[in-house]
Every structure is written in C-alpha cells, then in structure tokens.
Structure 1
C-alpha cells in the first residue's frame, strides 16, 4: 500500500523542482515524528485495533519510498524519455514503459529501507492492540520480573528480526525478477 501511494505521489511531483523539494521536506519531517506518539494521537479519534496500526505503519513506510521514487524518477535520462516520445509513445506509456522501469531499482531500494524500518514500528504499533509480534514485547514488558516475561520479550524481538531478514530476502528476489539485467547494478 505504501509503495503504491508513494509512486503515485512521486509521479505527480517529480517534474517540478519546487514539488520535489516539498516531497523531500515532507519525507524528512515525517520521519522525525515519534511513531509511539503518532499511535497515541490516532488512538483517541480512531480507537484501538488494527486501523491505527495500519495507518501508522503505512505512513512511515511511505516516507523513504516517496523520497527514493522522486529521486529515481527525476534522474531518468531525459534522452530516453525524448526517444520514447519521439517514436509516438504517450506520456502515460512513456512513464510506465520507460521511466518507471529505469527508476525501479532506486524505488526498490527505498522499499527495502522502508521494510526494515517499519518492522520496528509495526512492533511498537502493538501498543494500539494491532496485530504482530509487538504484543509479545509489550506483554513481557508489562510483566517484567514475572515468570517468562523476558522470554516473551525475546520471542517478540527475535521474531521481528527473523521476519525482517526474510522480508529483505524476498525483496532482493523481487529485484532480481523485476529489474532488467541491462540496468541491474
């Protein structure tokens, strides 16, 4: 969800320098908001459950992807774009067939960074009674000193680390499948 939102926003702003600056500023400022505080702010109007957790995770996931998508699309060689337009491609087709595939490695790097970053944020989102391994962490911390409290925290933390590792491997595999050999680094 964050990737789709970010790529759409990047597609709307990457041609104008002022909007690129705005998108980068929003990304930088957004990342300074403490995730725990944002969850707390969303619990009041939305309540506990999955919804505030998904909103917070999506918000934080979109920020690095947006930054990378803007950079990737803005740095596509304009001669490629002009060539595509010269052979009769529409603006949308040029974007989908030329610009997006050339920018995809940079966008995917943002997705990988985002995925690793939001693993921890998703664990913190369990405070709002969202799903995930963060429930083990908060449960263990609330019973600190009690029976199996440390085990609960360790299970949650190690589970998050293992999931982050597996997700990164999947994203590397996705890159291998979706990035043309000609532009692969």
Structure 2
C-alpha cells in the first residue's frame, strides 16, 4: 500500500493529465456518437425495418473485439487520437441508437396529433414534443455508452491513444520491476473512480434537464 501511495504522489501530475485526457476523449466521443445516433434514430424510428437494420448494424460493430477494430483502423488512420476516437464513436452508437428509437416510440400518438392540431409542423413536434419526452431514454443510452467507453479506451493504448490505458499497459509490460504493479493498479482504479464520477454527473444532468412530469 505504501508503494502505491508513493507512486501516486511521485506521478500526480502525470496522473492528472492522463485522467483529463481519458475523460475528455470519452466525453467527446459520446457527444459525437449521440449526435449521429439521434439523427439515425429520428430517421428510422417510424419504420420497423429501418429500426431493425440500424440496430443490427450498430450491434455488429459492437461485436468486433477492440484490438481487432483498432487493428483495422490503424492502417487507415495511423496511430494516436484518430483511430481511438473513431473506434470509441463506433462502439458508443448502439446504446444511444436503441434508446433513441425506444424513447421516440414511447411518445403517445395522441400528444403528437394534438400538437399538429394546434398548428405545429413536423420539426416543431419533433423538437418540442418528441425529443424532450425521449430525452430520459437517450440520456440513459449515453450513460451506458460512457461507462463502456471508459473501459474500452484503456485498450486503445495499443494504438497509442490518449488516457490511462498507457499507464496500465506500461505497468503490465514491466511486471517484475518495483513500480509495475502500482502503475497498472493506479491506472485501473482511476478509470473506475472516474467512471463513477461521470455516472453521478449524468444523474444530476438528468434531474436538471428532464421535465418534472417525466421524472
């Protein structure tokens, strides 16, 4: 335990930087994936066939092992941030697409009919009625994707990606040296702690952005 604390104290600046890069990469990926997934969900949710195809394609991506996907992206995008962020976005799509479709499907048709009856056009109904009602479901998809990406990003150290994965890989590659185990352990624990913090932030965002009637 003393060695672990000594490592944290000695490398605190590096740990703070790696933690920031880890969280930043995940948040950016989730935001981009959310924009893409919500657009896809809006386009297909009225079509059972379209919904099934979109969900199946996103599911197929999720079944590809992280190492394999990164291995396919490296020859195209090189090493570093580009293949890492691309892989994270692809992995984040499924939960958000699925929850967007579920949320939009759950909107009572009587509500949308009433909105059209008072003169709202399709875009107004979507932006003012359907998406706000579907928002809690979309946010749940974002939470799931975020937790998943926090772990996947650690593997992206294989592609020289940013974040705490580099700390873990470096420690595991030097097993037997004095700081190897503390290094890998600290990286792993920090990922868990940061994932829990982000999940708590999502809970707060949900309470602040969801209307009282939907909570």
Tell whether 2:190 aligns with 1:156.
no
Per-residue deviation, 1:35: 1.3
Per-residue deviation, 1:27: 2.6
Map residues 1-185 of structure 1 onto 2, 5 A cutoff. 1-184=32-215
Count of aligned positions = 184
RMSD between aligned alpha carbons? 0.9
Contact 1:140-1:153 at 8 Å conserved across structures: yes
Q: What secondary structure does 2:35 align onto? A: helix
Q: TM-score scaled by structure 1?
A: 0.96
Greater helix share, structure number: 2
Provide structure 1 residue ranges, at least 5 long, that are not aligned to the other structure: none
Q: TM-score scaled by structure 2?
A: 0.83
**4+ runs deviating over 3 angstroms:** none
Contact 1:39-1:128 at 8 Å conserved across structures: yes
